Amino acid sequence: MLKLIAALLITTPFIANAESNSNKSDIRRVIRTQLHGVTDCYKTALKNKAADEKIEGKVVAGFEIDKDGNVSKSWIVEKSTTLKNEGVKTCVAETVKQWKFPASPSGKVTIVEAYPFNFNMKDYK
pLDDT tens, residue by residue, 79-114: 999 999 999 999 999 999 999 999 988 888 888 999
pLDDT at 9 > cutoff 90: no
What is the domain count for the chain?
1
* Residue 3 confidence (pLDDT): 42
In a domain, 82, yes or no: yes
In a domain, 41, yes or no: yes
- Give the residue numbers spanning the domain of 35: 15-48+58-119
In a domain, 9, yes or no: no
Contact 113, 62 (CB under 8 A): yes
* Residue 6 confidence (pLDDT): 38
In a domain, 8, yes or no: no
Q: Quick one: how many helices (H) and strands (E) in the chain?
A: 2, 5
pLDDT digits (tens, 9 = 90+) for 24-62: 888 889 999 999 999 999 999 999 887 778 899 999 999
In a domain, 107, yes or no: yes
In a domain, 100, yes or no: yes
Residue 8 confidence class, pLDDT cut points 50, 70, 90: very low
